[in-house]
Structure formats: C-alpha cells, structure tokens
Chains A and B, each alone.
Chain A
Amino acid sequence: MKLRNFKRHGKEGLKNLGRNGWMTFASVSSVTVALLLVGFFIALMLNLNFISTQIKDDVAVKAYIVRTATDDQIDQLHEEIQALPRVANVKFIPKEQGLENLIESMSHDGEEATVLADLRDENPLPDSFKIKGKDPEDAIAIKKAVEQLDYVTKAKYGDGKGTVKNLFNVTDTARNVGLALIIGLLFTTVFLIGNTIKLTIVSRRREIEIMKLVGATNSFIRLPFFVEGLLLGVLGSILPIALLIVAYRAFYDIFYHNYEMTFIELIPLNPTIYYLCGGVLLIGALIGIWGSVTSVRKFLKV
C-alpha cells in the first residue's frame, strides 16, 4: 500500500473518533471498564499463583530418625525412602544443620535467637530427612508411608493440620473462578466494542455507499475503521494501565509496611506487572480491531 494511503487511513481513523464524539466516548469507556477488571483480576491471579508456588515449594515431609541409628542404618533408610513411589528427592539433614536452620528461622533482624544458640553445645534435635514429593499434594501419602519404615520416629508435613491442603484448594478455586470471569469479561468487551463500532458504521453507511460508488476498493473502505477500532482499544487501555501501575505500587508498599511477612512475597512491579500492562494494551488493541473488522465486513458484504 502506498504510504500516502496509509497516512490517509490514520488521519481518517482519528478524524472519525472526533466526529463520533459520544460514540467514541462510550466505546472507550466500555473498553476501559473491562480492561480495568481484566487487569486487576490477572494481577490478583498472578499473585495467588505466585504465593501458592512459594508455599508449595515449602511443602516437604520431615522424617525424624531414631537417635540410636547407625550411619549404615541411616544410609539404608535413605535408599528405602528414595524408593517410595511419588518421592522426588530426599535430603539428609544432620542435627547440627537442623539446629542452624531453626536458629536462622527464629532470628529476627540479624539478632540470633540466643536461647536456641545456647543449645549448640547440647543439641536436642534428632537427625532428619527432608523429603519432597513429585507434587506437593503427595505430602500426605508420603508421610504415611515413611512412618511405616524402621528407624523413623515421626514424620510430618507443613503444620500437620491440613492447612496446606486447604490453601491449595482455595488458590485453585480462586484461579479457576478468576479465569472464568476474565474470559467472560473479555467476551463482553468484544461484544460491546463490536456493537459500538457497528453503530458508528451505521451512522456512516452513506459514506461507505458513496465510497463504493466512486470506486473505492473494499480494503480501502475497511482500513479507516480498522484504525479506528485499534485506536478505541488502545485509548481504552490507557487508564487501566495507569491505574494498574499506580494502585499496584501503592498496594505493594502498604503490604510490606504493614505486614512484615517474611514468608509471603508479592510479585514485584518490575517486570511482571509491566508485562501485564503490555498484555492489557495488546488485548485492548486486539479486541478493538476484532470488533471493527467483523462489523465492517457485514456492511461491505464481502
């Protein structure tokens, strides 16, 4: 296509936005609302997913070993555990290491938990195995199996009260519901844009008729509407993107100021949320184009 034509379509598309002021406003608003919801839902989903992976990574079965067990017996036990179904890897944790881990997890702001540190001379902990299943959900089965083995005093996973299992259920449900909502919202948005552009085209039927009469090709007629749809989508995504960045940054700051939770992390703004913004822009552009192209095609009967 000639560059001159390209420029004309861009200009026409822009002009059309202005000429159909209220229609443009309606379309852009509907895109904005939908993308706002989509953006925030995806941000929420990403975080839930992120948090649940963190927690899943932490889900391991701990098996405590009888104090009197010899090194050979421990080695044999190691092999037996490794041979269990669903076990991904087994790590031997000597009691000294176990204590250091405990001290570290109880320490705060660089101050050692002194009470525990005193125990270094007289370590009360047993040696243990840290066992990871192929799936975090395997933890329960692995715990039961390991408890049957010789030289194991006790096995446990997570907090041992099923909270982990509940958390998995919650995040899975939340993710599925969220996905369903997002898909529903996107369809509604496409429908809204398609409809609004259809109205815009109806009001410009005469223009299209005359274009055809004076010998404009169909692609020539279609392109300004294509540009217009694209612009509607892109304009509609500006506010959601701005809000997403501002609101997420604010939420992120507040979250870390008020809850100094060391074990739950949020997805940082950079780069994931920026990628999400790019995605929102892309979705806006695509649904804008989709809406306009389908509506124009109907009117040109091609």
Chain B
Amino acid sequence: MIEMRDVWKTYPNGVMALNGVDVTIEKGEFVYVVGPSGAGKSTFIKLMYREEKPSKGTIQIDRINLSKLKEKHIPKLRRKVGVVFQDFKLLPKLTVYENVAFALEVVGEHPRTIRKRVMEVLDLVKLKHKARFLPDELSGGEQQRVSLARSIVNNPAVIIADEPTGNLDPETAWGIMDIFERINTSGTTVVMATHNREIVDSIQKRVIAIDGGMIVRDEMAGRYGYEA
C-alpha cells in the first residue's frame, strides 16, 4: 500500500527533516507515527499526500509513484488519500453538509451520488442531525468529525491524519478514535501522527517512532514508549 525506500528530505533552508526512511505499510493497517516535536513526523506525513517532495528516495502509494508524480497528476493522488488535520480545515461559510459534499463536487461527482454518499458518511460520524449547521455552531469534536467525514466521503484507500486529536479534550478524542477504528475496520488504511500517549497505549496498533529524521522503532501493537 505505502512504500518508502531510502527517503531523504532536506528543506531549502537546510533543515534535514528525514534522513533515510524505509517503511512498508500494508493495506488495512492502522499505524501511529510518534516522536518528539521537530523529529520529522510532519514531514513524513506531508510526503504521503505530496504536500512535500522527497529530496531523495522513492515513495509509492497504491501503485502511484509519488517521487515521479507530475504536478498536474497530484489531484489523482489526493482522491485516493484522505487527509485530516489538527485544525479541521473546514470552510466556515459552508454548512456541515456542504463541507462534506465539497470533496465530491470538486471531483465532478453526480449530484445524486453526492447526496447519498454525504448522508452515509454523516451518519457514520453521527452528525446527520446537524447537516445544516455551520462549523462555528459545532463543538471541536463535532468539527473534527465533519472533517473526518469529508476525508472518507470519496472512499480513499488511505486516511492520513496529522494530530487529529491535538485540539480536543480527552473525552472527545476517544469519540474521534472510535470513528477512526471503524473506518479502519472497513478496510481503509490509517496513518496517524499523534502526541496522545493515552490513546496509543490503550488502543494498541503498530507504532512507528521517528526521531532525528529516522525511524528509531517500529513495532506491532506497540506503545507510546517515551516521555514527551
């Protein structure tokens, strides 16, 4: 599903974010990416949806070679990769329904399909009753559920999440994790960068620890493992 071979990333300002990363993530896996701030977690995540390009090495996602991907083919990749952020990235002037439908509209989906799919995913994240609300009228957890709904609405093969619970209180975070697990159970690969020790330690999955731009630990059913 996801394959990184000897991936290096040096930013134009000279910061060396990744120094030779090798990793394989199988289809349907649930992977936590942990590590201290500035360790290269974010770069690792950004490479996967081609926000950044590797300086060296190859990245392949679902048979798309990201290191050779041309600018104009990026949209193709983005349709296979759902992205969730710490700050939700919802459009404030659109309703919950419109925010989710947006992801299907921009890929030219048929209106009837859009209506059906949006209601399905809103049901999945338990926000069907708030479809007409604006993001500002929702709690943080609800907003994150909207953004999750948007990321899965076009059935991506992979969900990539960058600290999705970073802005949420512990209780709400559990609700979000519950949805991630359900998405994963239906066969979608999940890669999640997180700082949340409690979650990593109790919902045990594969853990990839990054430090100093390298993978320092990679274990199945791992634990958070270090003092943050």
Q: Is the Cβ of B72 less than 8 Å from the Cβ of A212? A: no
Q: Is the Cβ of B75 less than 8 Å from the Cβ of A217? A: yes
Q: List, in ascending order, chain B residues with CB within 8 A of A180's CB.
A: none
Report if A162 contacts B (CB, 8 A).
no
Q: Contacts A206-B89, A206-B91, A302-B71; is A213 near B49 (CB within 8 Å)?
A: yes
How many residues of B sit at the interface, in one of the four size bands?
Answer: 20 to 34
- Which residue from B71, B78, B93, B110 sits with its C-beta under 8 Å from A214? B78
Report if B107 contacts A (CB, 8 A).
yes
A-contact bits for B189-206, CB 8 A (1 contact / 0 none): 000000000000000000
Q: List, in ascending order, chain A residues with CB within 8 A of B102's CB.
A: 210-211, 214
Report if A209 contacts B (CB, 8 A).
yes
- Give CA–CA (A210, B99) in the complex, Å: 10
Report if A207 contacts B (CB, 8 A).
yes
Interface residues of B (CB under 8 A from A): 49, 71-72, 74-79, 83, 89, 91, 93, 102-103, 105-108, 110-111, 150, 154
Task: Report the stretch among A2-10, A26-34, A171-179, A276-284 that lies at the interface.
Answer: A2-10
- Give CA–CA (A232, B72) in the complex, Å: 29
B-contact bits for A31-53, CB 8 A (1 contact / 0 none): 00000000000000000000000
Q: Contacts A4-B108, A4-B110; is A213 near B89 (CB within 8 Å)?
A: yes
Q: Is the Cβ of A8 less than 8 Å from the Cβ of B105? A: yes
A sample of 12 inter-chain contacts (CB < 8 A) reads A2-B108, A4-B110, A206-B91, A209-B89, A210-B89, A210-B102, A211-B106, A212-B78, A214-B150, A215-B76, A215-B78, A220-B108
Report if A19 contacts B (CB, 8 A).
yes
Q: List, in ascending order, chain B residues with CB within 8 A of A206's CB.
A: 89, 91
Q: Contacts A19-B93, A209-B89; is A215 near B106 (CB within 8 Å)?
A: yes
Interface residues of A (CB under 8 A from B): 2, 4-5, 8, 19, 206-207, 209-218, 220-221, 302
The 7 closest A-B pairs by CB, nearest first: A215-B78, A216-B106, A215-B79, A214-B103, A215-B75, A217-B75, A211-B106
Nearest-CB distance from B15 to chain A (Å)? 21
Q: Is the Cβ of B111 less than 8 Å from the Cβ of A220? A: no
Best-buried of A213, A214, A216 by chain B (most CB within 10 Å) = A214
Nearest-CB distance from A201 to chain B (Å)? 15
- Give CA–CA (A8, B106) in the complex, Å: 9
Best-buried of B49, B83, B106, B108 by chain A (most CB within 10 Å) = B106
Q: In the complex, which residue of chain A has the Cβ closest to the Cβ of B77?
A: A215
Q: Is the Cβ of B107 less than 8 Å from the Cβ of A215? A: yes
Q: List, in ascending order, chain B residues with CB within 8 A of A8's CB.
A: 105
Best-buried of A206, A213, A215, A216 by chain B (most CB within 10 Å) = A215
Q: List, in ascending order, chain B residues with CB within 8 A of A216's CB.
A: 75, 106-107
Q: List, in ascending order, chain B residues with CB within 8 A of A215's CB.
A: 75-79, 103, 106-107, 154
Q: In the complex, which residue of chain B has the Cβ closest to the Cβ of A221?
A: B106
